Amino acid sequence: MSAFPPAILALADGTVFYGKGIGAVGATTGEVVFNTSMSGYQEILTDPSYCRQIVTLTYPHIGNTGINAEDGEAGKVHAAGLVIRDLPLVASNWRCEQSLDAYLKSENIVAIAGIDTRKLTRILREKGAQSGCIVTAATAAELNVEAALAQARAFPGLAGMDLAKVVSATESYPWTEGEWQLDKGYVEQSAPRFHVVAYDFGVKRNILRMLAERGCRLTVVPAQTSAAEVLALNPDGVFLSNGPGDPEPCDYAITAIQEILAKRIPTFGICLGHQLLALASGAKTLKMKFGHHGANHPVKDLDSGQVLITSQNHGFAVDTANLPSNLRATHVSLFDGSLQGLARTDVPAFCFQGHPEASPGPHDVAYLFDRFIALMEAKG
C-alpha cells in the first residue's frame, strides 16, 4: 500500500471514498459511471465515447494482462479517470508491454484503486450517474476533501455538452486497415468494393477495421464536415460514428445528416451516430439515469425475434415517445426496454445504439455491418 500515494474519490452527493492513487498524481473531474465488462480495460480507457467520464470497473481485478501497443481504440486515453477495486501486483500476458499503472502515468491519467466499487456502483444505480473528483497527493495530509467535493459539485454534467467536436480528428484521413489476425496482426485490405465516408464523432478504430474487412475504402472526416464536402467525395455510403456527450447540441451534424439522407445515400449510425440520425429524422433524445456501460447487455431484434448479447456504452438514448412515422424501431434493450435500433422507412438508413464492433465484447450484432454492405450493393 505504501508504494502508492493516498487518494480520494469525492461524489457530488457528499460521499467520499478513500483508496490508493494509481497513475498520475493530481486531480480530475467528470461524470462517474460504471462498466460491467470483465476485460477490455485498455479499449474502454481509449474509447473516445468516455471523454469527460470517470469509469468505474465493477470487475474487481483490473490490470492482469497489462497494456500493449495494438489494442487501443484511439491514440490516447480519453476517459477522465479510472476507479478499480484491485490492481494486481503482476501483469502477465504474452502481448503485455506495460503495466496499467505505468500506462496511466504515461498518459497523465489520475485513477484510484482499493475502494469498495460495489458500494459505489449501488450509489450510481440508485441515484444515477454523478459528478465526481479523484484526487491523489503525496501524503494523506495534503488531501483536501472539501476542495474535492467542491470540484465534483462544480462539474456541470454532460447534458448540453457537445464533445464530438472536441475528440474528433481535425483533418480527413484514409483508412484501409482490417481486423487483427493472430499470425499477422492488423492486415491492410486491398481491392475495396465500396467507398465509405465515415464521420468521426469519436470513432473507435475497430469500427473502421470491420468496415475495411468487408471491402470498404474509408475516408474519415471531422465531425463538422458539411454535407456538401461529403457528397463531393462521391461516397457509396456514409457512416456515423460513436462519440461522447449530448447529441442535441451537435446541430452541425444533424443538418449535414439531413442533407445526406435527402440524397438517399446508404447511411449507418452507431451509438452517438444512432442518436444523431434519429434527431435528423425528427426524433428526440433524453439523458438516462445511469446509462448502459458493459459487454453483456441483452437486446432483442424485433424483426427476427432473436436475443443478442451486446456491448454498450451510452448515457443518452432516443426517446420512444412519439417517434416520427419515418422511423421504425428495430431493436430494444431487455434490461430496461430502451430503444436500441432504428430504421428509416423512406430512405436506406438505419442505426444501432450499442457497439456491433464490440472491442471489448461479443459480436452478436456484427451482422449490422453486413446489412450496411447490402444497402450499398442494392444501390449499385
Q: What residues are annotated to the active site?
A: 271, 355, 357
Q: How far is 71 from 304, CA to CA, in rounded Å?
A: 33
**Measured at the alpha carbon of residue 296, what is the angle toward residues 295 and 298, in degrees to the nearest 5?**
130
Residue 154 backbone phi and psi in degrees, to 5: -80, -15
Q: How far is 380 from 378, CA to CA, in rounded Å?
A: 5
In the block, which residue shows the cell 435527402?
262
Q: What SS3 class is residue 17? A: strand
Dihedral of alpha carbons 317, 321, 327, 331, sign? positive
**Measured at the alpha carbon of residue 139, what is the angle toward residues 133 and 140, in degrees to the nearest 5?**
60
Q: How far is 151 from 10, CA to CA, in rounded Å?
A: 9
Q: What SS3 class is residue 252? A: helix
> Residue 172: what residue type?
S
ω before 360 within 30° of 0 (cis)? yes
